[in-house]
Amino acid sequence: MSAGEDQVAETIADQIGRKAFFMMGTRFRTACGSVLFFDIRGCVKFNRVRITLDCSDTYTVEFLKLVTSNGAQIVKRDLTRSGVYAEDLKKCLEHNTGLCLSL
């Protein structure tokens, strides 16, 4: 993975805001190319989020519910929002998780 690819995921994290990750209870974040993947706590519907930079310079935000059954992780729920602008990332997360990400 090149440094430029790492920078895309870091830019996504910066656009959401470092405090928002704290307020979501995020324990891990993983960057892979133009994708940022992280966990959230405190939301009944979802416990993982994947944000991907699209070629249209907008984002696709996927909300996932991963559960472990017999040692395998299974996606229980999946909600996708496409065409999300950088300035709307935090609002999209708040709206779909029900969590408040601002003080």
Rounded-to-integer distance, Cα 81 and Cα 1, Å: 26
Query: Does residue 101 form part of some domain?
Result: no
Query: Does residue 71 form part of some domain?
Result: yes
pLDDT tens profile 54-76: 999 999 999 999 888 777 777 77
Amino acid at 48: R
pLDDT tens profile 6-34: 688 889 999 999 899 999 999 999 988 89
Q: What DSSP line would sit under 34-85, residue for residue?
A: TEEEEE--S-SS-SEEEEEE-TTS-EEEEEEEEEEETTEEEEEEEEEEEEE-
Count of domains observed in the chain: 1
Query: Does residue 102 form part of some domain?
Result: no
Give me the domain span that covers residue 21: 3-96
Query: Does residue 18 form part of some domain?
Result: yes
For 97, the enclosing helix (H) or strand (E) is helix 89-97
pTM of the model: 0.86
Query: Does residue 103 form part of some domain?
Result: no
Query: Does residue 50 form part of some domain?
Result: yes
Query: Does residue 39 form part of some domain?
Result: yes
Rounded-to-integer distance, Cα 37 and Cα 31, Å: 6
Query: Does residue 63 form part of some domain?
Result: yes
